[in-house]
Amino acid sequence: MLIKFYIKPRKGVLDPQGRAVAENLRSLGFDSVKDVKVGKYIEVYVDETDREKAVEMAKDMAKKALVNEIIEDYQFEVVEE
């Protein structure tokens, strides 16, 4: 199975990279760009056939290793290959 993690800064957390991207886009004429959040996309391939176990593994991975829950929000999806 494949677990896809989508991680981004929480609302209200300073995101200097997102700010730089937003300013660059506006300088290129994309005047309607209001804000940009730059995050992480992570793919984890696991040798697991039970979807519920994969979901629990994903939650555990996020909490223990992949996400700083103080400053980041995340979502994940489990995809059968």
Which residue's entry shows tokens 């629990």?
56
- Provide the CA 74 distance to its chain's centre, in angstroms: 5
For residue 20, the tally of other CB atoms under 10 A from its CB is 12
Average pLDDT taken over every residue of the chain: 97
What domains appear along the chain, each with residue ranges and CATH number? 2-79 (3.30.1280.10)
Q: Is 63 exposed, middle or buried (0-12, 13-18, 19+ CB in 10 A)?
A: exposed
pLDDT, position 81: 81
> Is the pLDDT reported for residue 3 higher than 90?
yes
Q: For residues 61-81, give the mean pLDDT.
A: 96
Please tell me the pTM assigned to this model.
0.89
pLDDT tens, position by position, 24-50: 999 999 999 999 999 999 999 999 999
Q: Measuring CA to CA, how many Å separate 33 from each of 16, 18, 28, 70?
A: 16, 11, 11, 27
